[in-house]
Structure 1
Amino acid sequence: MRRRRAEKRKIIADPIYNDELITKLVNRIMLDGQKSKAQKIVYGALEILQEKTGENAVEAFHKAIENVKPLVEVRSRRIGGATYQVPFEVPERRALSLSLRWIVTSARSKQGKSMIDRLSQELLDAYNGVGAAVKRKDDVHKMADANKAFAHYRW
């Protein structure tokens, strides 16, 4: 018998923009519990994003996240000794966490410059529909499209 599902924790909105998604980004950036350092990075990146887009920082950030969110992904499913990559629709929570993860990892993998500059550049790229995180989403979509013949193996 399985245990009960873990309950979802309530995320407290961040103090400056009053947005839960920004808090999630701060928590994703944070290393070794250094939250104030992570907040400086995120807020600095959002200011740069606001300057470059000319749009409200929170709206630009939300648009960037929307551009990175995957709609479908593939999961391995073993059927009769063969493993198939079966396409599945991505639940909203997972799509959000994947998009944040992809943005942060692609910002971290860039060379040179400060983390503020790298994160703001990645958010700007995502806002414009280009960049590493958006490419990652497109790759996931292509993989799901290539394997749509196995969609009937969904459970």
Structure 2
Amino acid sequence: MRKTKKKNKIYFPDPKFNDSLVTRFVNHLMKNGKKNIAYKIFYNAMKKIDLIKEKEDKTALEIWKEGLKNVMPHVEVRSRRMGGSNIQVPIPISSNSKITKAMKLLISCAFIRNEKTMSNKLAFEIWDAFKEQGEAVKRKENIHKMAEANKAFSHFRF
């Protein structure tokens, strides 16, 4: 084989929820190596979700995981040069890549919201993702629509 398999990175569990997925999310949220600030933003967002949930029996962490699952894309389109033109080829995404794309979508959509603090932005974006609305879910649906529109080229997979 020409390509070697990529080693899966091991993430240590976070101090509060004891979950390695939270650490992974915080690593994507972190800017300029300031992990403590990223943890603070995430934990404040979880507190805010606890306050805004109405009649939900789930905890804030379960709501976050459900929202992450709702934002997760299952296919993506990649450009491939065929003849003289570029075509968009839909390709299924690996499970590890799905999680990464969902986290990045959630964070980028939270960043452009109009709330005051980043923890509020993140909390409301997670809540919208849990309710299957909001910008992150729209972007996921756009990715799926692009893949559906280019379904005819799916036999050109890499």
TM-score range, shorter chain: over 0.9
Of 115-124 and 17-26, the range deviating more from structure 2: 17-26
Who is 1:50 aligned against? 50
Who is 1:89 aligned against? 92
Who is 1:24 aligned against? 24
The separation in 2 between residues aligned to 1:41 and 1:94, in whole angstroms, is: 24
Deviation at 1:3, TM superposition (A): 6.4
Q: TM-score, structure 2 length as denominator?
A: 0.92
The separation in 2 between residues aligned to 1:74 and 1:62, in whole angstroms, is: 25
* Counterpart check, 1:149 vs 2:146: no
Q: TM-score, structure 1 length as denominator?
A: 0.93
Q: Which of residues 127, 134, 137 is equivalent to 1:134?
A: 137
* Counterpart check, 1:113 vs 2:109: no
| Alignment-mate amino acid for residue 25 of structure 1 | F
Contact 1:50 1:60 in 2 (8 A): no
**Following TM superposition, where does structure 1 have runs of at least 4 consecutive aligned residues deviating by more than 6 angstroms?**
none
Q: What's the CA shift string for 1:66-104, capped at 9, x where partnerless?
A: 000001111111122221101111111111111100111
The separation in 2 between residues aligned to 1:148 and 1:59, in whole angstroms, is: 34
Q: Which of residues 55, 75, 80 is equivalent to 2:78?
A: 75
Number of equivalenced pairs: 155
Task: State percent identity of aligned pairs.
Answer: 38
Deviation at 1:52, TM superposition (A): 2.2
Q: Which of residues 114, 125, 128 is equivalent to 1:125?
A: 128
**Once superposed, what is the RMSD of the aligned Cα atoms?**
1.5
**SS at 2:89's partner residue?**
strand
**SS at 1:85's partner residue?**
strand
The separation in 1 between residues aligned to 2:48 and 2:92, in whole angstroms, is: 34
Deviation at 1:4, TM superposition (A): 3.7
